[in-house]
Amino acid sequence: MLPRYLDCGCVTNPITGEVVATCQAHTAGIDPEFIAEAKQLEAEVQELEHGICNHPDFHSTVNVIRIEDTLSYSAEIRIRCIACGIPFRFTGLPGGISMTKPTVSIFANEVDLPIEPMHDMPQDKWEALH
């Protein structure tokens, strides 16, 4: 008789039912159900990333940050697909933090943009707008 494999990955003796080899989760002391849920979530994310959702609608959040000691401002922007919940990444910008140039977070799902009130614009640029 062949050994029997459980859903978690443990191997049992087909006659006695005794576990003869434990899965990685049981060996590490992790609940196999947690591992299964994580694998299911990972599979769902991969499905969504491979084009199942055409991202028809979006939700964005904008937080404006005021840096008191420098009197500067920054806008933090995040965008998600409403249909599938997948966050969008901002591409083409460097990572990090800067009050003088746009940057992205470590996962590139948030962009930080330096901003300023229109009245703080140099006079020649302000006149060009009118």
Handedness of CA 44, 50, 51, 57 (dihedral sign): positive
Q: Which residues of the chain have pLDDT under 50?
A: none
Three-state secondary structure call for residue 49: helix
Predicted confidence at residue 38, as pLDDT, reads 67
Amino acid at 67: I
Q: Which residue type is seen at 58?
A: F
Which residue's structure tokens are 């989760």? 25
Q: Give the largest Cα separation in the chain, rounded.
A: 88
Distance CA 11, CA 30 (A): 17
**pLDDT value for 6:** 58
DSSP summary character for residue 120: G
Tens of pLDDT, residues 64-75: 999 888 788 999
Q: What is the pLDDT, as a whole number, of residue 10?
A: 66
Cα–Cα dist 120/71, whole Å? 11
pTM exceeds 0.85 for this model = no
Residue of 32, 33, 81 lying closest to 53 (CA atoms): 81
CA–CA gap between residue 116 and residue 104 (Å, rounded): 19
Tokens 């599938």 locate to: 84
Tokens of 76: 């933090």
Residue 98: per-residue pLDDT: 86
